[in-house]
Structure 1
Amino acid sequence: MSENSTNQEIDLLKVADGFSKKLSQLTTKAVNFIKFIKRNIIYILALFIIGAVLGYFYDKNNKSYYTEIIVSPNFNTVDFLNNQIDVVNSRIELQDEKFYAQVGISKQTKIGKVEVKPITDIYRIIDNNELYLDLFKTMTENNDASKIIEDYATSKNFPLHQITIHSGEVLDQKVLDNIMKFINTSDYYNKSRVEIAENLKDKLANNNTSIDQINAILNQVGSSRNVNATVFYNDNKELNELINNKTKLIQENHELKVHLKNLDYIVTPINYATNINNKSGLNNKMKLVFPIVFVGGFFVFAFIRRYF
C-alpha cells in the first residue's frame, strides 16, 4: 500500500473520529437540556403563564389607535399644511392647555404624534398633459424615478395628502373636526380663499352666459327649415367649434363647482378613517412578548449561574 493511500485513510479516520466526538457532545448537550426542562418545567410554565397574563393586561390598558384623514390642500397650501402639522405636534409636546381646550381634549388624553404625507399618484400630476409627461421623462432619465416622486419638490404637487393622528384612546369625531379647524386657521389664507371663491363664482357666471349664447345660436340653426341652414349645420366648422366650446364650458363648470365647494376650507377634509386599532410593531403583542422574555430570562439566569 502506498504512503499516500495510508495518509488518506488516517485523515478519513481522524475526520470520522472528530465527527463522532462532535455528535456525541451534541447528543449529551441535548439530553442535558431535556433534563433541565424536565427539572424546571413547573417554573417555566409558571413564568410563561405569568408573562401571558401580565401581557394581556398590559395590552388591554395600553391600546394604540390611529386615524387617517385624506385632505386636499387648496390653492398651493401644501407648505402651509406641513407647517400647521408641525405646530400641532409642538402644542402636543408642550401639552398646551389652550390648544387642548381649543380641540376639546384634556391634558390626560393620550394623543400622540400627528404626521402628514402625500398620496403619491404621478399620473394625476401628468394627467395626459404632454408637457408634464415629457418633463417627467427627462427628469427620470438619469435618476431613480421613485426618489424623484418621493422628493418634497415633487410630492408637494400631489393633489391629495394623508394626515395620520396617533392616539392611545378613541378620539371623538368632534375632536378630529376641531383639529382640522385648527389646521385651517389662517387670516391670510382665509382671505385668499374668499377672494378665490368670488373669482370662481364670476367665472362660473360668465361660462353660463356663454353657454346660453351658444344654445341660442344652436336653437336658431335647429329651427331653420331652409336648405342653406341644413348645409351650415352639417359643414360649417365654426358651428362645430361652438359645440366643442359648449362641451368644454360644461366640463369646466363641473370642475369649478367641485373646486368652489372645496373652498369652504383652506385644507379640505375628503375622508376620515377613524380609530383604527394599531397592530404594527409590538403594539397589542405583549401577551406574546412577556412570556418569551420571562422564560428567556430564566434560561439566561440558569446559564450564568452554572458557568460563571
Structure 2
Amino acid sequence: MSNTPTTNSHQEEIDLGYLINKINELFIKCLKLLYAIISFFLKHKYIILLLIVIGIAYSYFKEKNAATLYDNQAIVVPNFESVHYLYDKIDAINFKIGEKDSLYLKSFLGEDYKRLKKVEIEPIIDMYQFLSKSRENIDIFRIITQNQDITDYKEELSNNKYYKYHKLNLKIFGENNTEGVVSKVLDYLNNNEHLKKYSNIYKENNELQIKEHKKMLAQIDSVLYSIYTSKNLSSNQGVQISENPYTHFLIERKGMVLDDLLQHQIQKIDFESAIKIVKIDYNLIDNSKFRVPSKIKYPLLLVFLYSLFFFLRYGYSKLKKIANSN
C-alpha cells in the first residue's frame, strides 16, 4: 500500500514523457512537410513564376472582355390582382434562362436575350400599411395568424398579394442600353390580354368612384351650409354647431369621404399599368458578397493544379511501393 503513490507518480511521468515525445514527433513531421513544400517551390520556381504571370495576364484579358453583371433594382406595384401572375411569370423567365431557351427569350428581348441572367422579386413587407387599410384587413390578419407564427406568415408566398409594393431586381450583363432591356422585360410582363381587360374595368370604376365621392363632398358641404344658415340659429348668437345633432356626424363623414377620395386618386396613378414602376435604379454592383479578385484567383488556381499533379504522382508512387511490397 505504501508503494502505490510512487507507482502512480512514475506512471504519470511515463505518460507525460510519451505525450511530449509524440508532440515532438508531430512537430518534426510538420517541419519536414514545410521543408518539402518550400523545396518543391524553390525547385520549380521558374515554372511557378511563369504560371503566376499567365494567371495575371488571363485575369486582365478576362476582365477586359467579360461584361460586368449589374443589378437593376426597381419597386413595382402589381395592380388588378396580378401578384401571383407576376411571380409565376418571373419564375418562367428564370426557368427559360436556365434552359437557355433562346427562342423564348428572343421573343421579347431581341438580340439582348443573352444579357439577362436572372430576375428576382420579393414583397416589401409593411404590416402597418396593410393593417391600416381597413378593419377587414385586421380581421383577416387575426384569423390567419391564430395558428401561425408571425414570421411564417410574413414569409409565406400566398400572403404576397396583401402587400402593395414589391422589390424587383434584374441582373443584366453590361451597362449599355440597360434601360432598354429593363423596358422590354416590363413590357413583356404587362402584355397580357386578361390584365388589359381587367385594367379597363378597374380604371372605369375608379373614375366613377372619384366622381361619386366629389358629389358626396358637395352634398355634405351643402347640408352643412344649410345648417349654418338655418333660421334656428340666431344671428346675434353666432354659429353654434353643437346645437344640431347631425353636424358632428356630417363632419366625421366628410373626413371619411376625403380619405376614400385620396385613395382613389392614388389608385388612378397606380392604375397606369398592370405592373406599375414606382422607381428604378440602373447598373448597381452588388458588393455585399465576398469575391476573390481574379488577379489573385487565377494565378493561385494554376499553381494549385500544377502542385496537385505532383502530389498525386507522389501518392501514386507510394501506393505502388506498398502494393509491390505486399
**Same fold by TM-score, threshold 0.5 exceeded?**
yes
User: Partners of 2:245 and 2:59 in 1: how far apart?
Assistant: 78
Q: How far is the alpha carbon of 1:256 from its aligned partner?
A: 0.6
Task: Supply the distance in 1 between the matched residues of 2:190 and 2:292 (Cα, whole angstroms).
Answer: 34
Structure 1 equivalent of residue 9 of structure 2? 5
Unaligned runs of 5+ in 1: none
Whichever residue aligns with residue 259 of structure 2, its letter is: Q
Larger relative contact order (C-alpha < 8 A, sep ≥ 6)? 1
State how far apart, in whole Å, the 2-side matches of 1:198 and 1:128 are: 22
For 2:20, give the aligned amino acid: A
Unaligned ranges ≥5, structure 2: 317-326
1:236 and 2:244 are equivalent in the alignment: yes
Return closer, same or farther for 1:78/1:244 CA change in 2, 3 Å cut-off: same
Q: Which residue of 1 aligns with 2:43?
A: 39
Please tell me whether residue 156 in structure 1 is matched to residue 158 in structure 2: no
Contact 2:76–2:275 (8 Å) recurs in 1: yes
State the match for 2:320 in structure 1: none
Q: Deviations over 1:146-194 (max 9, x none)?
A: 2222212212322122332222223432332232122112223212211
Q: 2: CA distance between counterparts of 1:130 and 1:95?
A: 48
How many residues were matched structurally? 305
1:112-151 maps to which residues of 2 (within 5 A)? Answer: 112-127=117-132, 132-133=137-138, 135-136=140-141, 139-140=144-145, 142-151=147-156
Indicate how the Cα distance of structure 1 residues 135 and 88 shifts in structure 2: closer, same or farther if over 3 A, else same: closer
Instruction: Give the alignment of 1:23-34 within 5 angstroms.
Output: 23-34=27-38
Corresponding residue for 2:63? 59
User: Using the alignment, how far apart are the partners of 2:111 and 2:292 within structure 1?
Assistant: 25
Deviations 1:53-88 (A, max 9, x none): 312322333321232222111131112223433454
Q: How far apart, CA to CA, are the structure 2 residues paired with 1:113 and 1:26?
A: 47
Identity %: 21
- Tell me if structure 1 keeps the 8 A contact 2:124–2:166: yes
Q: How far off is 1:268 after superposition?
A: 1.1
Q: What is the SS of the residue equivalent to 1:120?
A: coil
Q: What CA distance in whole angstroms lies between the structure 2 residues aligned with 1:138 and 1:108?
A: 45
Q: Does 1:69 align with 2:74?
A: yes
Three-state SS of the structure 2 residue aligned to 1:75 is coil
State the Cα distance separating 1:278 from its structure 2 match.
Answer: 4.4
1:80 counterpart residue number: 85
For residues 169-188 of structure 1, the aligned pairs below 5 Å read 169-170=174-175, 171-188=177-194
Are residues 27 and 6 of structure 1, via their aligned partners in 2, closer, same or farther at CA, if it must alter by over 3 Å?
Answer: same
Q: Which residue of structure 2 lines up, in the alignment, with residue 256 of structure 1?
A: 264
Identify the residue that residue 224 of structure 2 maps to in structure 1: 218
1:209 aligns with 2:215: yes
The alignment's C-alpha RMSD in Å is: 3.1
Q: Secondary structure at the match of 2:71?
A: strand
Cα offset, 1:255, TM superposition:
1.2
TM-aligned CA distance change 1:80 to 1:221, over 3 Å: same
CA contact (8 A) 2:51 2:299 kept: yes
Kept in 1, the 8 Å contact 2:70–2:173? The answer is yes
